[in-house]
Structure 1
């Protein structure tokens, strides 16, 4: 019952997270519309020509100073945690996290995720990174508390008479901010600590706290100055009043979680400045502030981040000798997704703004009116189509590519026909020419209706559409709207064309939404039925991957490709959708199947994870935006080289002679014989589990189930007719590889039993023509513990070296090394950033079967 309530509450919160930012943005546009009623669009456009170059230069200088102050947050944070990271690395990490998170939403999680990705690569622990993120967020608020609190408390805020009540509220807010600041300083003076989930976190010393206040205050003041100097008549308002209102607007915009506080910040600043300055001056200054303070650093940060991501991908693929993927072309879909989204905005906004009358006059003498009107309507509908298709391009869907090419071409034609907009047409045609030769990068044969749209996708489309409607209403606010306007036609009937465009894009969005609802997802969540299990067995028989046999446990979901000759198996733990191993089957369909799985996880708001994968399909995992961490190495013995002869086989000869001297012998038990021995085998398994003080594991390894074991021959060790040990044998049809999964032995017999079983089984495999014998994975082996190694490598290497209490990692590696195997790395492909720690927890729970079992041997 509680679980259902929790799920219901989670669904409600999820819907609120989608609707609240959109609702706040719509309300902000309404406030802006009311504030700008005295103005007309052409007055604002003319005001842009009046802006002075020196004011833009001053704004740029103060923007630079503000971001330099923001860099100080991270330098102070490094000093606070006592770590030494190079200035260059701190500079890059701090700039990318702040410039991007400020523009896509004043969201501490965004900046935190980016900081985690950067600093974990420099060897910082999760706790240290958490301290940095917390320290930087607190530092930001300290500046707001000091500057805002001081101004609101001690400077007389001269609000209009109708807003006197808000003046009292602002005074109270200022006092609260200063009280918070004083409490923080007192705690720093006392050097107090606080506990978070058992970790002690120390307040910084007073000197560091004062530096925090100084740096963040300078950041706030410099940011305010950037806007202040863009107000060409700023002398008409006092700087203290302006700064107080600026910080109030910035703080409220932060809380709204709208990307960059867009709309909310502008509405609040307009309300604060309109009584003192000309409306057109305020609007022009706010637009220029967006460009100078947000957009320019965002683009710079995006370039730096893309370069870093490209280098990270390049390093991974070079290490794997996959040089064919080392080109910028790997990011082509993302680049064109952004361009297509921009093209959609261009088509929509051109419909909202009045056209050039000269162009309309010329085109009206050449083109029939019906063609002009239909071109205008179709342009807006094509614009909203492009907003939707950008998501499909990002995900490399071929249908999105074909439609985008067609729409760009048609859009460039319609731009001419609707009003001789040759600049708009040229931009669309240029994007068309750039996209046309990129067909090979869009290879997914997937339905556009089944593509998942993230919260950010939906909010971005909603923001653009709402902005289009608001801009059109504002541009034509002098017109009295009526139903008759929809049916009026003429070269000068711009309002009518705009209203028809609103109806057209509304119809597109409604129809697309209904089709998605009716279509649903083609993949349902259920364990495979008998027919599907039969199909997996057919695929397994032609597979070269012995791990494919794990599907026969029937404890995992199965996802097939369209022809049903390839599948992957997965489990769900928390928000993590974990695929066990690489996909199995026809390699031509692997790429598409990986994307299908990623889409399905996204549709259910889950995180895509591939556990214990080889190097074979790593470029595909990188394509869907995952990163890799190494979790160990698999040992594979080349059976043609394995022998009991010579010094290398001395230990194996000893094990064989000793066991056979004691009366043990090796044999293969065929699947048909297993039911007759099942009780005997179960008693051995139960005794083994009891001795190991553990429960059956799942997901990534077999468990004792009669139905499961009946699929395989067993390698057994007997003393007389009594079974002493057994292991089920995985084989591939072409004899490429053999392996064992479930290994159990009677605890009362010699500890050389399993070595004897391995030895005899390898000799049996060699005699029967198998090429390799897999000894399974050695967890955490092969990870380097260098100073600048990634965070996971350092943790894994430390556990491998000193983790004997939990598991004998070193002993297992040393034991398998005796067989002189070939070591092949194994990885987890998982999302980037802070999500990784939750994913690793989910995988541990999935494999162990419970929290308690994680810590048992």
Structure 2
């Protein structure tokens, strides 16, 4: 550490950092810069920390001290409910005290750990209060009112430091830049008071009811003061317990300065900056670095992590119960008291996103259970517990229990994803492993704390068992890779931690003494690798030996006779003919009266076009498919849907993205006469003069004709793979179902062809399908083929002719369009090098079509760029 650096130079560094912060492009780096500055200032002190000694300090904390520190931390978190009581008083919210305390605990603990500048707590409060019937017009200003209150207490405590009531001179002398940070925080309080009393705040937040009363302003500052004072007292109790000589005023001043640094870093929970400042400050007070680090770890554990785990349990119970309290076939002796307990707390049932939050919380609790088992197995147990366990059990049993704990820990980490995805088999296996893990935690070293936690998570899973309804979920190669990489990282950390803590513990033993039961920690790396491999094998065997075959058989394969009979009775659409290709599964909804055809890609079922059948049944049919797909973890997406059905998708909660426009030529108005169509007329006259012959061949087609058309198709493809899904491809059985337009040379050889697709709407619409031509065909070949096709369709009584889609056409041209659509517009204009989007539209404009928009309808939970890549993959997939 360079002690000769002047305070002025450090201030210049801080001022430079603040200037950089104003640049939006690098604001995300600000927390890293703050932490880097702190590390640079105190790197010499940090080098004195030894992980092995820190772990030893943590493992030897007496149980009464743990209870005292834990009790103080939980009391400090409970005090934070003052914020919600303030909201209830100021906005006259009708909500019970117990409900308010539960909501406060969930929101505050999530906000403490996750942070995001208070967005985590604000978002959860919004959802929870909304579930209790608080109207949005009351809830929105309440959340806005609460947001600026959170740091007023820290600002007040900053004044006590600056005025010398809490001494921080020694810390300021060593790290002078912190004085300016504390001053910045202290000035927030007068700014807050002025803002609360302003007319603008009265108009927009207080809903025109006047300036915030002084009593409410005082209550706001008081609520925040209780939070930060409670956190500071928790920090002092832990420091006093672990370090023994920690003075209250000195530790409180240290806590305030460290908290200010944490707030400035904007990292969740101030992690990094707070810890480094607190560690350096504790060492300046004359404390051992390893003991100071142990105190910080315990503070993080008791004030942040443990309350958050309790908040996860609250969230899981709050939103994880069945919507209706009906008798369960699995009812047992605990069912009645549990129902009474739930009724007393007033826990509701399913509520949209909050239901997902509850299962997500259960998944994280299972993940925490696995990590706790691994951490327990990686660090040496307390000696007196091992000796007690060895008196009850044999050493081989303890060793087997140790290795099984590692295996169960890795398996729980893997299964936590299945819990978050609501898979029933994952729930059953996880429950069994949690109970088994609790048993082995006892038998490997009498670790009753871990066992109690595992049993508590198992109980929460059992209470929420009705949430696990899914039969399976998609497991892609990308998911397997990421999950495998994550668990491998956990294995590496386990092996490193186990070896490090083993050697650190050995240094404290007399020379030559190494108890036999300690040898199980000396091969932590091998244990980690073995546990990882065995857990992967176990989960793989469960997935392979008990596959969910129905997930691959959702819907039915093509039954050509049934489909043809259905389309004779119900009105189809321009995409209905492609269902005869057989590459899509057919889902018959509403007792077979509505048809939805889809293909799967990763974790999505992509339905082609709108539902076919009575429109009044469409919404129920979509809900039926979504419910069935949800059992297997699939999301349902609708591709190339028409504007007519947008209200139906909207009622299902879908979002929309415009894919482009479809060219529909009104045949009654089509003509080659006139100046506008002179180019088409000249092309047609040229082909007639040169002796080309147009004809439409009706099925069945001869094998000779199909062979000739295949030659044309193969040459046109030029060894490129066929595309599928929303595009037709050369398939003889499919081509036999509809007429084919042919263009022959004077000698009778076919030079170009186009298959036709009926619209199944009573002869109103005819569509172009597969179009291919020889490389040597003259210019204007497809123009002439289209002209003659349109004339032929007009002669045969069709009303309109579908020339197909122009992708990204007329998308995102408005200033009010979404960002994604504006990007699509840019691709449409500049993407001609890859596809020729604008050129395709200009080509179809020759035939004077009416443009009809087509949309992508997708659930709100999907990310549009990822979905777009999946759709490209689906369309580009070679047909089987």
TM-score of the superposed pair, with normalisation by structure 2: 0.49
- Larger RCO (CA under 8 A, 6+ residues apart): 1
Larger Rg: 2
Task: Please report the TM-score for the alignment, with normalisation by the length of structure 1.
Answer: 0.50
